[in-house]
Amino acid sequence: MVRAAALLAAGVAALLAPGLSSAYGWPIKPFDQEHAIRGAFDDPRLGLGVGGVLQSSFHFGIDISAPNGTPVYAVAAGTVFNYPDAVTVHQPDGREFAYWHVVSAASEHSHVSSGELIGYVRFPWGHVHFAEREHNTYLNPLRPGGLEPFTDDTPPVVGDIDVAQQNGRLIATASAYDTPPIAPPPPWQDARWAPALLRWRLIRNGSEVLPWQTAADFSTWHKPSEYDLIYAPGTVQNRPLAPGKYVFWLTRGLDTQTFPDGTYELEVAASDTRDNTGTASINFTIANTKPQDHPLRGTASEPPTRRCRDSRRTTAHLGRSSRLNLARGALPRCACAQSYRATSTRSRRLACWANSRAACGVSAWRDVAARSASTCTGRIVSPAWR
């Protein structure tokens, strides 16, 4: 067990190693003291874009809590470039530090030194969005060798693990989050961070049969086009007085026919930038010999069935034949999507998502993930349940 923990820690350290540039202090005073952070690197972001279309993206920096009007200082020397809501400081080697939601106090193209005033926190943001870019990509400022001092002694939490088998393929998701070492001020005191690294593996009879697979590596920023490859339906970003929920794809189609039938353990490990690691696992059964698709029941307790608040939109409205077809997985893809909340288990609902996402369109799924629908009718079924 000690050897396994050591190997896991070594693997985490190796994956979090990129971008070990020289360390720097905090952009608000005191520079040598850790401050509260309410938004972490690569957290999910859901918002309306051009034309009112819902857009999903990754947070490309960290949100350092600070009262409006707080002075903001350069963490490193460089040339100033001013933007409507940001100040950036460029260095000759291509490295760049960006300070968003800041009213500039520095002249365009002027040279600033480390610790020199560059602006003030803009009303009503109440934080500095701090970002570091190197070689055309953003880096996690909380990595070792980045923003210092920074300490984190608590491991991330792995929550629900959902598993389903369909047509000889394994579909699995897991929820995970990290808690800030310093609680942000209200109304963000319950904010959660995305873990820096999420991995999973398969174990049978105490032996590893599938080595650690990386589900999410947040050492660098991910493009919006990768959002649906990493975050799964049900993901919600932090809001005031409402902590976020981060659901990650582990696998969307592992071929189970390469594994003998039997009971397996799926272990999930979530790590932060300081190698603190939280784990959880669930047992499930692979049964390739059975012709019909079926949910894989885990030994962990099943969460209560969640239904639409409108009690009329449950399996009762489908009719007996539709319910039977739904149970067999025989409904058309979009019909399956419309009946998503009516299914009886989370594992079958998960399979339904995977089958029907392409047919019903990405925007529809993002509407569900953002809880933007208000009723249990229409092309997509509302996520009004909690």
- Closest C-alpha to 145, from 227, 206, 230, 219: 219
3-state secondary structure of 307: coil
Spatial CB neighbours of 381, under 8 Å, sequence gap ≥ 6: 308, 313, 337, 338, 339, 340, 341, 342, 368, 373
Q: Supply the DSSP symbol for 233.
A: T
- Closest C-alpha to 72, from 58, 89, 84, 90: 89
Distance CA 100, CA 264 (A): 47
Q: What confidence tens digit (pLDDT) does each residue in 227-277 have?
A: 999 999 999 999 999 999 999 999 999 999 999 999 999 999 999 999 999
CB atoms within 10 A of CB 54: 17
Percent of the residues in the chain that have a pLDDT greater than 70, as a whole number: 68
Q: What confidence tens digit (pLDDT) does each residue in 39-93 have?
A: 999 999 988 666 667 789 999 999 999 999 999 999 999 999 999 999 999 999 8
pLDDT, the chain, mean: 78
Q: Where are the domains of the chain?
A: 23-139, 303-386
Is residue 64 a contact partner of residue 27, using CB atoms and an 8 Å limit? yes
How many alpha carbons fall within 13 Å on the CB side of residue 50? 0
* CA distances from residue 61 to 19, 100, 219 in whole angstroms, order as listed: 14, 10, 11
pLDDT number for residue 274: 96
Distance CA 124, CA 351 (A): 42
Is residue 128 a contact partner of residue 63, using CB atoms and an 8 Å limit? yes
* Cα-to-chain-centroid distance, residue 113: 35
pTM of the model: 0.72
- Radius of gyration from C-alpha coordinates of the chain: 23
Copy the structure tokens of residue 110: 């002027």
Distance CA 24, CA 57 (A): 27
Cis peptide before 186 (omega within 30 of 0): no
Mean pLDDT throughout 349-368?
Answer: 42
Residue 386 has pLDDT above 90, yes or no: no
Distance CA 257, CA 238 (A): 39
Right CATH for 23-139 from 2.70.70.10, 1.20.1050.10, 3.40.50.300, 3.40.50.720: 2.70.70.10
| Phi, psi torsion values for 173, nearest 5 degrees | -130, 165
* CA distances from residue 75 to 61, 70, 118, 130 in whole angstroms, order as listed: 15, 15, 10, 10
Distance CA 45, CA 50 (A): 15
Give the model's confidence band at 304: pLDDT under 50 very low, under 70 low, under 90 confident, else very high. very low
Q: What confidence tens digit (pLDDT) does each residue in 163-211 have?
A: 999 889 999 999 999 999 999 999 999 999 999 999 999 999 999 999 9
CB atoms within 10 A of CB 335: 17
* CA distances from residue 242 to 15, 134, 373 in whole angstroms, order as listed: 31, 33, 18
Distance CA 342, CA 260 (A): 32
pLDDT number for residue 21: 57
| Phi, psi torsion values for 23, nearest 5 degrees | -70, 160
Residue 107 has pLDDT above 90, yes or no: yes
For the four alpha carbons of 141, 144, 146 and 151, in that order, the dihedral sign comes to positive
Which residue pairs from 99-102 have beta carbons closer than 8 angstroms and sit at least 24 positions apart in sequence? Answer: 99/27, 99/72, 99/128, 99/129, 99/130, 100/61, 100/128, 100/129, 100/130, 100/131, 101/125, 101/127, 101/128, 101/129, 102/72, 102/128
